[in-house]
Amino acid sequence: MSNTEKVMWLLKRLGEAPYELGVTELADEIGYEKSGVFKTLKLLVQGGFVVQNQSTKKYSVGPALYRLGTVYGERKVILQVAEPVLKAMSYMTEETVSIGIREGDDAILAYKIEGPISIRLENRIGRMYPLNAGAIGKLLGAYHNEERIREILSQTELTKNTQNTIVDQEELLLEYEIIRSRGYAISDEENREGSFGISAPIYDQNGDVWSCLCLAGPKERFTKKKVDNWIGLVINGANEISLKLGYNPN
């Protein structure tokens, strides 16, 4: 058994145990000498993966695992809930549908389902967008804390990716207001020439917006007629996900 497996075994064993376990019983069960088990446990305690009860000297799972578990839970919930919606929309529109998440002061493409027409728009999962350009970035910016937005804008120089990228601070804040009042954002070649996108906010159970649903593709396929239809589709899809996440619109 490698050390990595040993670490996993220890953590799992501590997790399924009723409460606390000592070095000796862990070593006996895993079949190692307690010296080695102790060394590993000490490191795990330092890293917060395990806590040691100072009075009993026994070990249990630690707060670092809680944090990581929460991360997994959040990701799983939103993707699991969102996937059927994305699939349906992708099928109906034949375009790429994606989920964007705000991570700190940036927007990130967290998940996407490609449309059947495979003209690549090279938006890879994990790609980061600024909050001033593109359907995902602008929407998540619009629903971000305005004070924080002003801070960001005053500190960073907005780069003009295309002719349509908004770089003026006041113009951007106005655009944010429009987005909030309409309930959706539109990007017309703001991040990249030839691309078009529509996005709508996803509300979590606290009513906060930290992710959004986005429909995007080559501009030539986004005719006015289609866009008029698709805006409702995106808003409805985002609402559906919001409700499934436990959002209560009041």
Enumerate binding residues for DNA (CB under 7 A).
Answer: 1-4, 6, 22-25, 32-36, 38-42, 52, 57-58, 120, 122, 124
Give the binding range for a second copy (CB under 8 A) out of 61-69, 88-96, 189-197, 202-210.
61-69
Among 27, 61, 85, 136, binds a second copy (CB under 8 A): 61
Whole-number minimum distance, CB 153 to DNA, in Å?
29
Residue 12's CB is within 10 A of a number of other CB atoms, namely 11
Residue from 97, 101, 139, 140 in contact with a second copy (CB under 8 A): 101
Q: What is the 3-state secondary structure (H, E, C) of the chain?
A: CCHHHHHHHHHHHHHHCCCCECHHHHHHHHCCCHHHHHHHHHHHHHCCCEEECCCCCCEEECHHHHHHHHHHHHHHHHHHHHHHHHHHHHHHHCCEEEEEEEECCEEEEEEEECCCCCCCCCCCCCCEECCCCCHHHHHHHHCCCHHHHHHHHHHCCCCCCCCCCCCCHHHHHHHHHHHHHHCCEEEECCCCCCEEEEEEEEECCCCCEEEEEEEEEEHHHCCHHHHHHHHHHHHHHHHHHHHHCCCCCC
Nearest approach, Cβ of 96 to DNA (angstroms)?
14
In the complex, minimum distance from the CB of residue 84 to DNA, in angstroms, rounded to a whole number:
24
CB of 216 to DNA, least distance (A): 16
As measured in angstroms, the least distance from the Cβ of 145 to a second copy is: 18
Cβ nearer to a second copy, comparing 32 with 183: 32
Q: Give 78's contacts (C-beta < 8 A, 6+ positions apart).
A: 99, 101, 110, 202, 211, 241, 245
Identify which of residues 27 and 235 has a Cβ nearer to a second copy in the complex: 27
Q: Which is nearer to DNA, 24 or 248 (CB)?
A: 24
Kindly state the smallest distance separating residue 129's Cβ from a second copy, in Å: 11
Contact at 8 Å (CB) between 50 and 66?
no
When CB distances are held under 5 to 8 angstroms depending on the partner's kind, the choice from DNA, a second copy, none that residue 218 binds is none
Query: In this chain, which of 44, 186, 215, 235 binds a second copy, going by CB under 8 A?
Result: 44
Which of the listed partners (DNA, a second copy, none) does 244 bind, with a CB threshold of 5 to 8 Å by partner kind? none
AA letter at 209: V
Q: Which residues bind a second copy (CB under 8 A)?
A: 2-5, 7-8, 11-12, 14-16, 18-21, 40, 43-44, 47, 49, 53, 56, 58, 60-73, 75-76, 101, 103, 106, 108, 110, 124-126, 128
